[in-house]
A and B are shown apart, each in its own frame.
Chain A
Amino acid sequence: MTAVIETSALTKVYKDFWGRPKHKALDQLSIRIDPGEVFGLIGPNGCGKTTTFKLLLGLIFPTGGQATVLGKPPTDVGVKARLGFLPEESYLYHWLTADETLDFFGRLFHLDRATRKKRADELIERFGLAHARKRQIREYSKGMTRRVGFCQALINDPDLVIFDEPTSGLDPISQRQIKDLILDLKRRGKTVLLSSHLLGDVQDICDRIAILHQGQTKKYGAVRDILVQRDSITMTFKDLSEQGRRRIEDLARAEGARLVRSENTLETLEDVFLRTVQESGDGLTYRPPAKEGEERK
């Protein structure tokens, strides 16, 4: 299987105006991302995530090492036809409407008028912008602008999408929608590369991750393999009586295990938030997408 993205010892040193090295933003990154994977790049601010994306898009040239995207060098214009990108900061053309923005980007892909219209309609509907599609983007809120950003990234139905901090600036419902979007893309066989500071989300949706620190790769592999604590086990029971719990604990102790923690399971704040908003029924309804194998109603 050929990799969708492959880098070997990819290095970037930013230089100043006179060409003197200023900052080593990325140091010997070697990763491989296969088709259909969701890959997460995480790390503290300034660790080189955005730099990696810029290198993969051919926006900047590497100081050392190589990268291939969809089998071609990142500067290859043809590769871009199968790629979608959402930058971390979205400044679009303020004077265009959402419709015009998507039409403009669609034209860069040589999409014909009918296809441009169809794709734009679908995306605008999906990202809940239908009411604002004829308004200029300078009148949009931050989150709305962000959603136009998602629309433009998907206008060409790309095989590979790169999202730089996709959920930043979005409300919890939209964040959840984006998570579902990513899972949906995965289900359709697309490859996703993303960066995020919301580690919970990364853990939920990514198959594999790399953790960067000051440009260096600190961890790289499947999320499960990285997170699993082989000497520790968590079990979740429903309707377990106090007596039953004590008996299980005793049994474990008899087996030589040490009990570290035993408490009631907490719901996540996200689940409570979503349920609350849904119950209040103010139109901001959220419907989870159909699970795999399950019929969509």
Chain B
Amino acid sequence: MTTSWVRLWAVASLTLKEALRRRIIFFVLLLFAVALQISAAFFPSLNMIGRLRVMESHSLSITGLFTAIAVLFLAAFSLPGDFEQKRVYYLASKPLSKPTLFLGRLLGFSILVTLFIASMGLITVGYIRIVKLLSGDAFPALVAYPRLTASEFEAVKGQPIPANPDKLFALGGGEATLIWHFNGLRAADFPDRISVLAKIQIASPTDGYRSSGAVRFRVLNHELKRQSEKILPQLNTNEEAEFDISRDILGTGGDLSIGVSCLDSDGLVAGVRNSVVIYHRSANFELNFARGLTLALLQSLLVTALTLMASTVLSAPISVLLGITLYIMGNLHGYVLEGARDIDQTLDQIKAAQGTEKGEQMHTPEDLPPWVLRLSTLSSRAVLKIVPDFKRFDFSLWLLKDRAVSWEELGEAAAGVAPHFLVLTLLGVLIMSFKDFG
């Protein structure tokens, strides 16, 4: 395969030039600006923090939507256009390998998506800054708090869950405690009050439906024996519990431990290493915005790669449809997976009850034969294997809570996308190598 950068770049810049000439970039950005400033219509009924949130969430949803639609259509129609209008006859008679044509297009559209998202980010940040300037002091500060996960996680008198050794649990009513250790913290990295966020699972060994209970949080510094305590009498499972502690508790050693135990004797608490996190002093808002939009970029790149790959064999409209399907499946990932799990559970119950008297009358909830359900969970699981969970790329989960996207989180998201992206690219290259251009 002869892929040269010069040729790759020639095709990529052709792609960009086309988008520029058709004024697509211009119109998409113009529409974006108009749509964004419509958020001002909600201002009268909102307080200052509400205004910021409206702008932020509005911007992110239109960024996602506009970028996806623009790129979806551009990518879906480019290669089929080359084939149908027989421009490939010119291209393929030049020293340009067929895969290079695909790769060049992919590179071009990737750059285009990046341009789109970066410009939309710039417009958004500029817009928020202007509104802040006009609103005066009442407008909230633009912040982004970086998250810090524990360096160690242990269960004192507790134990791992057999099915998932990373998850520890501690029975309630006694001494059993889950402890998150944060080491080597520097006081300078934190504001006066350090905020703590916990997302604990609450259950009961005897009652399968139990999902809340009384929970005690203890924050201590072993070196200084300083301690602060907080009791939440009615915490729901996986509910975000937020509280703050004085920075003084850090002392000079910079070690901090947070212990969590269940106060109900019939309950239990469970968690993993990142179930409890603390927050640093605010990072630069704009820089964080850029990191957050990179998450959105990753998602769009995936949609682009799939659409372009599909368009090597399928017609443009079908490729658009496939791209949209990926988009929807990615966004519904959580729901579909949950549904599949529910059905599996029901099926297991039926299996267990079979032969017993109860089993005779037991049916699936919808009265469908079990094999239909089995098939549906199998196929939806198979599809979910191919499609990543787009929640990972939803920057609003961070932005609307003033949280910073860490480099690790960004890296994880990128690592999650990379295999999909690579496989799609490889498929495209392979298809192009063996494709008849007739």
A binding-site residues for B, Cβ under 8 Å = 14, 51, 54, 57-61, 77-78, 80-81, 83-85, 87, 89, 91-93, 95-96, 100, 104-105, 107-110, 136, 149, 152, 162
A residues near B437, Cβ cutoff 8 Å = 54, 59-60
What is the bound-complex CA distance between A104 and B94, given in angstroms? 11
Contact of B14 among A89, A91, A93, A109 (CB under 8 A): A93
Would B10 and A107 count as touching, CB distance under 8 A? yes
What is the bound-complex CA distance between A52 and B21, given in angstroms? 36
Render B73-103 as a binary contact track against A, CB cut-off 8 A, 1 for contact: 0000000000001111111111111000000
Q: B356 interface residue, CB < 8 Å from A? A: no
Q: Which residue of B lies closest to A12 (CB)?
A: B438
What is the bound-complex CA distance between A61 and B435, given in angstroms? 9
B residues near A149, Cβ cutoff 8 Å = 90
Contact of A108 among B18, B95, B436 (CB under 8 A): B95
B residues near A61, Cβ cutoff 8 Å = 436
Would A81 and B95 count as touching, CB distance under 8 A? yes
- Beyond A87-B86, A107-B7, A108-B95, 16 additional pairs, beta carbon < 8 A: A54-B437, A57-B89, A59-B89, A77-B97, A89-B86, A91-B85, A91-B87, A93-B18, A95-B21, A96-B14, A96-B17, A100-B17, A105-B90, A105-B94, A152-B90, A162-B93
Contact of A92 among B90, B93, B94, B95 (CB under 8 A): B90
What is the bound-complex CA distance between A281 and B32, given in angstroms? 57
B residues near A51, Cβ cutoff 8 Å = 438
A residues near B90, Cβ cutoff 8 Å = 85, 87, 92, 105, 149, 152
Q: B358 interface residue, CB < 8 Å from A? A: no
Would B438 and A80 count as touching, CB distance under 8 A? no
A residues near B4, Cβ cutoff 8 Å = 110
A-B pairs with the 4 shortest C-beta distances? A85-B93, A95-B21, A91-B85, A87-B89
Q: B22 interface residue, CB < 8 Å from A? A: yes
What is the bound-complex CA distance between A89 and B84, given in angstroms? 11
Would A91 and B95 count as touching, CB distance under 8 A? no
List residues 293-310 of chain B with CB under 8 A from any CB of chain A.
Answer: none
Q: Which residue of A lies closest to B95 (CB)?
A: A80
Contact of B94 among A14, A95, A109 (CB under 8 A): A109
Q: Which residue of B lies closest to A97 (CB)?
A: B21
Would B92 and A108 count as touching, CB distance under 8 A? no
Could you say which of A57, A59, A91 has the most chain B C-beta atoms within 10 Å of its C-beta? Answer: A59
Q: B138 interface residue, CB < 8 Å from A? A: no
B residues near A85, Cβ cutoff 8 Å = 89-90, 93
B residues near A89, Cβ cutoff 8 Å = 86
Q: Which residue of B lies closest to A91 (CB)?
A: B85
Q: Decide yes or no: A104 and B14 within 8 Å by CB, A14-B438, A61-B436 being known contacts.
A: yes
Q: B6 interface residue, CB < 8 Å from A? A: yes
Q: B234 interface residue, CB < 8 Å from A? A: no
A residues near B97, Cβ cutoff 8 Å = 77
B residues near A80, Cβ cutoff 8 Å = 93-96
B residues near A105, Cβ cutoff 8 Å = 90, 94
Q: Decide yes or no: A78 and B93 within 8 Å by CB, A59-B438, A93-B14 being known contacts.
A: no
Q: B206 interface residue, CB < 8 Å from A? A: no
Would A57 and B92 count as touching, CB distance under 8 A? yes
Would A59 and B88 count as touching, CB distance under 8 A? yes
Q: Which residue of B lies closest to A100 (CB)?
A: B17
Q: B2 interface residue, CB < 8 Å from A? A: yes
Would A77 and B86 count as touching, CB distance under 8 A? no
Q: Which residue of B lies closest to A82 (CB)?
A: B95
B residues near A104, Cβ cutoff 8 Å = 10, 14
B residues near A77, Cβ cutoff 8 Å = 2, 95-97
Would B436 and A60 count as touching, CB distance under 8 A? yes
Q: For residue B212, give the distance in angstroms from its CB to the closest CB of chain A.
A: 58
Contact of A78 among B86, B91, B95 (CB under 8 A): B95
What is the bound-complex CA distance between A161 and B95, given in angstroms? 14
Q: For residue A23, give the distance in angstroms from its CB to the closest CB of chain B.
A: 11
Q: Which residue of B lies closest to A87 (CB)?
A: B89
A residues near B94, Cβ cutoff 8 Å = 80, 105, 108-109
Q: For residue B85, give the distance in angstroms from its CB to the closest CB of chain A.
A: 4
What is the bound-complex CA distance between A14 and B438, given in angstroms? 9
Q: Which residue of A lies closest to B97 (CB)?
A: A77
What is the bound-complex CA distance between A268 and B38, given in angstroms? 72
Could you say which of A60, A85, A104, A152 has the most chain B C-beta atoms within 10 Å of its C-beta? Answer: A104
What is the bound-complex CA distance between A100 and B13, given in angstroms? 11
Q: Which residue of B lies closest to A96 (CB)?
A: B17
Would A108 and B22 count as touching, CB distance under 8 A? no
B residues near A83, Cβ cutoff 8 Å = 93
Q: List 13 A-B contacts (CB under 8 A).
A: A57-B89, A58-B92, A59-B92, A60-B436, A60-B438, A61-B436, A78-B2, A87-B90, A92-B87, A95-B17, A96-B17, A108-B7, A110-B7
What is the bound-complex CA distance between A291 and B296, given in angstroms? 66
A residues near B91, Cβ cutoff 8 Å = 108
What is the bound-complex CA distance between A34 and B4, given in angstroms? 31
Would B17 and A107 count as touching, CB distance under 8 A? no
Would A109 and B92 count as touching, CB distance under 8 A? no
What is the bound-complex CA distance between A174 and B122, given in angstroms? 53
Q: Which residue of A lies closest to B7 (CB)?
A: A108
B residues near A107, Cβ cutoff 8 Å = 6-7, 10
What is the bound-complex CA distance between A2 and B97, given in angstroms? 26
What is the bound-complex CA distance between A173 and B90, given in angstroms? 25
List residues 16-30 of chain B with CB under 8 A from any CB of chain A.
Answer: 17-18, 21-22
Q: For residue A49, give the distance in angstroms from its CB to the closest CB of chain B.
A: 14
List residues 46-90 of chain B with CB under 8 A from any CB of chain A.
Answer: 85-90
What is the bound-complex CA distance between A81 and B86, given in angstroms? 20
Q: Decide yes or no: A110 and B87 within 8 Å by CB, A57-B92, A59-B437, A59-B438 being known contacts.
A: no
Q: Decide yes or no: A108 and B10 within 8 Å by CB, A57-B92, A93-B18, A95-B18 being known contacts.
A: yes
Contact of B87 among A93, A100, A162 (CB under 8 A): A93
B residues near A93, Cβ cutoff 8 Å = 14, 18, 87
What is the bound-complex CA distance between A81 and B97, given in angstroms? 12
What is the bound-complex CA distance between A104 and B6, given in angstroms? 11
What is the bound-complex CA distance between A59 and B97, given in angstroms? 11
Would A54 and B438 count as touching, CB distance under 8 A? yes
What is the bound-complex CA distance between A58 and B435, given in angstroms? 10
What is the bound-complex CA distance between A91 and B4, given in angstroms? 25
Q: For residue B74, give the distance in angstroms from its CB to the closest CB of chain A.
A: 13
Q: For residue B299, give the distance in angstroms from its CB to the closest CB of chain A.
A: 29
